[in-house]
Structure 1
């Protein structure tokens, strides 16, 4: 159910790509978008008491621009930076509602996605008067396909896994002269993935500002989920620059079917290690087998624990958040959003060997734990099966 390991490569080295100054630039860009507002940071005091920690703070990204997920932060910022470069202006001069009037014709943006990233790119392209073509891996949920199409984008489901779909989208972009907006990187394609991860720092900047204004204070522990590691790396880089890497502990989690960050972090030399195959997991947004080389260094250098978990861990987190203890706030969290709530619950309640790992990172009565619920019920039918019908029980099959 859980494989968890201490990071022996930790050195506390921060990243010049992900810091508080760039986070402020990204947040200023997002704040100019109609409908922008910080998403809630919700305290769960009764659950904290139950799990014997000081506080649990959950950033609820189901409220982000009405899109039910955080990913639009990265896609919109990257599109803004691309258009700013194309027009030879500063990013501060880009206005989503007027930028199309400065172009001779719309640009075509394309991407590969498990769902939320493609939704964000499609939304940002529509808001900027541009076009989007989105590719999804085999097994993509029809709800995600429909959501992307409803935003005016073309959406095509391939017959290969996520990482091969990324390669297909890249080739298609080259052949057609389109602009690829991908949240992972490779040799020769680093700038746009960097901008995407920098866009995610808006979420972290909001969360830290909100936490500082709450009686519990800033986090002592941060739990971040990883697919390719784009969000985890951007958020961790910002927090290390803002708080100092030695002033909080970080746990990075992934689905066991696609645990490329865990395998990289537990490899002999800390080298990027990929996972192949179908990558089947209910956590579709995290079902990625190849780490992002732009963000891997900060994850390697500043994470404290790497965890690989089965799907029923996330399902448990969904049920906990959606059915809270009395006086706590209910949070609708989807499969990729709830992984760390499930993991925290098991760290606090399960077998001694798991609990000892929690002790190794000082997870105790003085801990303020911050979790990012990165999506709501983006797949409503499966959400009901998990939360209503008990699909993937914690003591059931993975």
Structure 2
């Protein structure tokens, strides 16, 4: 099932929170981290032609700091800002190799995660000589739990869904005087989620440089709470102008809180409750981030929700390229946008929806494969064994 809805609230208004200048500051911070290198932007012209497009350009975040996902960009930037704030220093003056020596005892950072964000926070805390306590919702993949613990963090799996796990992490942080580093926001908790979304702009800035003057016609972004989608879309709205690119926000149909908000009568934030089931665990979030919702509301041209079989198909297509294209290992939350492009070309209904989105032989589509095979067993079942066929 693919649901497509035009955004009636679109007004192309950019945000002062997400600008090229702020992105440059975030990228400068990331460049100081040992092992930093821009992730590749991979061209898939043969696949694009087979789908009736001019080109598909995929930013492959499986190479980010050896962590197999993009999330560390947000967590590390937020931790850097928090450390600078505690030390009353400028972020640009923070030396990541020596900052721990300036504290009598390590700071403790805590967060709730479906996997990638917690991995990023745990890694960043370790790199900066601090501590991390990570909470995961019920059903969390054991591989993610072990990866987080392997980075020196404490990892606790709860018996509640993601949004309730966020509330538990917040409560525990307050009780223990820890710093909550969460990638969604609520009244009274906006600054850290803003820093996290700003950190994600590094990959958007990298991609714009790698495009080398090529102007994408379409920007497809996946969303959970919308933290990444908001930061990246905000950057391109400032750098290119929201009127000059067709931006599409794509979500799992069972947890499509951005789609629900964007198709509501008043355009206000709407939540999805319940089990929040999807194989796209990184996107299985029921409550939009109010920090990034305004930029999604103002600058997204379409909202789309899809079934799990769409992203599963995207994983298989990326892993098995046509001759002349490069393979990309993309996980469940990473392949949703490519899966959408492929699925639209497979039926008359899909082709009509592609036409509504303005996709044609002149389209240059920019997507972000935000994770690799973070759950190897699940990846193998989907790509090798054909789980969730289209």
Shorter-chain TM-score: which interval?
Answer: over 0.9
| Partner of residue 220 from structure 2, selected from 212, 220, 223 | 223
Query: Could you tell me how far 1:351 is from its partner in structure 2?
Result: 2.5
1:355 is aligned to 2:338:
no
Partner of residue 242, structure 2 = 245
| Partner of residue 389 from structure 1, selected from 382, 385, 388 | 385
1:379 is aligned to 2:375:
yes
Q: Unaligned 5+ residue runs, structure 1?
A: none
Instruction: Measure, in 2, the Cα distance between the counterparts of 1:278 and 1:61.
Output: 28
Alignment map for 1:250-265 (pairs within 5 Å): 250-265=247-262
Partner of residue 322, structure 2 = 325
Structure 1 counterpart SS, 2:126: helix
Partner of residue 295, structure 2 = 298
TM-score (ref. length: structure 2): 0.99
Query: Could you tell me how far 1:60 is from its partner in structure 2?
Result: 0.2
Matched positions, count: 390
Partner of residue 7, structure 1 = 7
Query: Could you tell me how far 1:97 is from its partner in structure 2?
Result: 1.5
Query: Could you tell me how far 1:102 is from its partner in structure 2?
Result: 1.1
Instruction: Measure, in 1, the Cα distance between the counterparts of 2:311 and 2:379.
Output: 11
Partner of residue 71, structure 1 = 71
Query: Deviations for 1:311-332, whole angstroms, at most 9, x for unmatched residues?
Result: 0000000000000001110000
Instruction: Measure, in 1, the Cα distance between the counterparts of 2:332 and 2:319.
Output: 12
RMSD over aligned CA atoms reads: 0.8
Instruction: Measure, in 2, the Cα distance between the counterparts of 1:127 and 1:366.
Output: 44
1:369 is aligned to 2:365:
yes
1:93 is aligned to 2:93:
yes
TM-score (ref. length: structure 1): 0.97
Structure 2 counterpart SS, 1:337: coil
Partner of residue 170, structure 2 = 170
Structure 1 counterpart SS, 2:80: helix
Instruction: Measure, in 2, the Cα distance between the counterparts of 1:8 and 1:116.
Output: 32
Partner of residue 51, structure 1 = 51
Instruction: Measure, in 2, the Cα distance between the counterparts of 1:26 and 1:348.
Output: 38
Query: Could you tell me how far 1:15 is from its partner in structure 2?
Result: 0.3
Partner of residue 81, structure 1 = 81
Partner of residue 39, structure 1 = 39
Structure 1 counterpart SS, 2:345: helix
1:117 is aligned to 2:124:
no
Structure 1 counterpart SS, 2:304: strand
Partner of residue 272, structure 2 = 275
Query: Could you tell me how far 1:347 is from its partner in structure 2?
Result: 2.0
Instruction: Measure, in 2, the Cα distance between the counterparts of 1:317 and 1:355.
Output: 17
The answer to which of 309-318 and 95-104 deviates more is 95-104
Query: Could you tell me how far 1:69 is from its partner in structure 2?
Result: 0.1
Instruction: Measure, in 2, the Cα distance between the counterparts of 1:245 and 1:267.
Output: 22
Instruction: Measure, in 1, the Cα distance between the counterparts of 2:324 and 2:254.
Output: 36
Instruction: Measure, in 1, the Cα distance between the counterparts of 2:347 and 2:29.
Output: 43
Query: Deviations for 1:190-222, whole angstroms, at most 9, x for unmatched residues?
Result: 000000000000000000110125xxx121101
